[in-house]
Amino acid sequence: MGDVGLAFSLANERTRWFRDAKFGMFIHWGPYSLASVEASWPIMTPTPGGISEADYRELPKRFNPSKFDPNTFVDLARAAGQEYIVFTTKHHDGFCMFDSSYTDYKITNTPYGKDIVRQLADACERRGMPLGFYYSPPDMHHTAFRDTTKLAKENWNGEPARPEWPMYLEYMRLQLTELLTKYGPVALIWFDGLHHQEKYDGNRFVELIQKLQPATLVNDRIGVPGDYQTPEQFIPNAIPTKGVRFAATDTHVRKESKTEIPAPEDFQLWETCMTINKTWAYNANDREYKSAEFLIHSLVEVASRGGNFLLNVGPQPDGLIQPEFQQRLGAIGDWLAVNGESIYGTTYGPVQNMKSLRTTAKRGRVFLHIFDWPSSPLEITGLETKVMSAHLVAGGQSLKFRQTEGRLQIDLPQQPPDPNVSVIAVRTL
């Protein structure tokens, strides 16, 4: 094996659990949930009539999530079929949900008084749930990140030209060291660096992470490529490949797109993060919930292009997760309980340009995910390998098929087995 092949093999083994997991839970939570406002942004880009920066900064004095039970978070993720959790340890406002020794702006100085991250990390370790930490390099509270005598709206991108900047990078190093040495195994660090990420000297922190926990993965939001890319609130319309960047927070319109199928060594590992309603944080006024069907379709779309789907919940200020989120997560879990073999452990499928059909693949099988059940036989073009058998994943019914040059026809029952997405497993030679 050459140097390139060896490097690819080692990287692939290190990221294997992530590649196989496919579906995770994102959790955005902090004192901001008390005000039904988004995390941090109301003080960075305030709107008329919104919460003032002074009032926002007073929220920790009232934060007391007395109904928080970390086991229920893990149980909900398991019931939804989610294979890992990513939790916001510190958002851009600088408030820490862990008991950091380097700031007073933290959960243990609230009426609640207990370390949320500690409890969640212990629950995840007991139950075998991989846990990753979201950590924001921007920090509106820290005097070395910006001149805090000004309102955050004036300098929220930070001020790296000030002589205090190296002190802030040292603060980051100290906090990341805490997270990576005091809370057990850390599956990944999810940075959220916003603009001009080069100012954080990302290689320094990637090296720190690799030294403290070599298995920990790193995303792409600290000015260096990382292990995987992170499109936000959209799904790329082609399989991402190495060397091709897209804006992490692009407002992308989904559309059918013909695409080349990359070689495994050219594939770019990626993860889409998405909200269930419009906001990341809990907001009692945000009732624009995505349907369970839309979310299942999104999971399939992501998996069909080799990605992971990180679906967000914003817990209530009392520590409970609202029923609308639980219902949708439960519906996805019910679908995965039947069709999970077509998602977990798969990679992008060999057919990428068919309307109303998505494919995934693993170990001699191709899975056909049908969004709109056809009234006539299902016809697929572009599947080059020889088909040996076909059956419905739900119920296992064998299906008759015919294959000629570049074309596969499968006879289907009149009614789809699943109202959201029905799946056919095709065994190939």
Question: Which amino acid belongs to residue 388?
Answer: M
Q: What is the pLDDT of residues 97-149, one digit of tens each?
A: 999 999 999 999 999 999 999 999 999 999 999 999 999 999 999 999 999 99
**What confidence category does residue 10 fall into, taking pLDDT thresholds of 50, 70 and 90?**
low
Taking residues 222-233, what's their average pLDDT?
Answer: 98
pLDDT at 375: 87
Task: Check whether 1 has a pLDDT greater than 90.
Answer: no
Domain boundary among 345, 368, 385: 345
Percent of the chain exceeding pLDDT 90 equals 91
Task: Check whether 78 has a pLDDT greater than 80.
Answer: yes
354 and 337 together in one domain: no
242 and 356 together in one domain: no
Task: Check whether 253 has a pLDDT greater than 60.
Answer: no
Distance CA 221, CA 41 (A): 18
255 or 30, higher pLDDT: 30
308 and 420 together in one domain: no
418 or 384, higher pLDDT: 418
Kindly list the distances between the CA atom of residue 262 and the CA atoms of 200, 268, 347, in Å, as whole numbers in the listed order. 32, 9, 11
Among 117-121, 169-173, 405-409, which stretch is predicted with the lowest mean pLDDT? 405-409
pLDDT at 334: 98
Taking residues 393-401, what's their average pLDDT?
Answer: 97
336 and 418 together in one domain: no
Q: How many domains are contained in the chain?
A: 2
112 and 241 together in one domain: yes
Cβ-Cβ contacts under 8 Å for 191 (sequence gap 6 or more): 134, 135, 136, 137, 202, 205, 218, 219, 221, 222, 226
Task: Check whether 15 has a pLDDT greater than 90.
Answer: yes
Task: Check whether 257 has a pLDDT greater than 90.
Answer: no
55 and 194 together in one domain: yes
Task: Check whether 331 has a pLDDT greater than 80.
Answer: yes
pLDDT at 412: 97
- CATH number of the domain within which 84 lies: 3.20.20.80
Take residue 106 and report the two structure tokens written for it: 């933290």
229 and 375 together in one domain: no
Taking residues 65-77, what's their average pLDDT?
Answer: 98
pLDDT at 82: 98
262 and 406 together in one domain: no
**What confidence category does residue 158 fall into, taking pLDDT thresholds of 50, 70 and 90?**
very high
pLDDT at 7: 54
354 and 308 together in one domain: no
Helix (H) or strand (E) holding 309: strand 308-313
Total count of residues recorded for the chain: 429
Taking residues 307-330, what's their average pLDDT?
Answer: 98
Taking residues 279-291, what's their average pLDDT?
Answer: 98
pLDDT at 134: 99
304 and 359 together in one domain: no
pLDDT at 353: 86
- CATH number of the domain within which 353 lies: 2.60.40.1180
Residue 49: DSSP 8-state: T
pLDDT at 252: 41
Among 10-14, 84-88, 155-159, which stretch is predicted with the lowest mean pLDDT? 10-14
Cβ-Cβ contacts under 8 Å for 112 (sequence gap 6 or more): 63, 64, 65, 66, 68
Domain boundary among 345, 375, 393: 345
306 and 358 together in one domain: no
Q: Which domain holds residue 402?
A: 349-428
290 and 372 together in one domain: no
Domain boundary among 290, 321, 345: 345
What average pLDDT does the chain have?
94
Helix (H) or strand (E) holding 135: strand 131-135
What is the separation, in whole angstroms, between the first and last Cα of the chain? 26
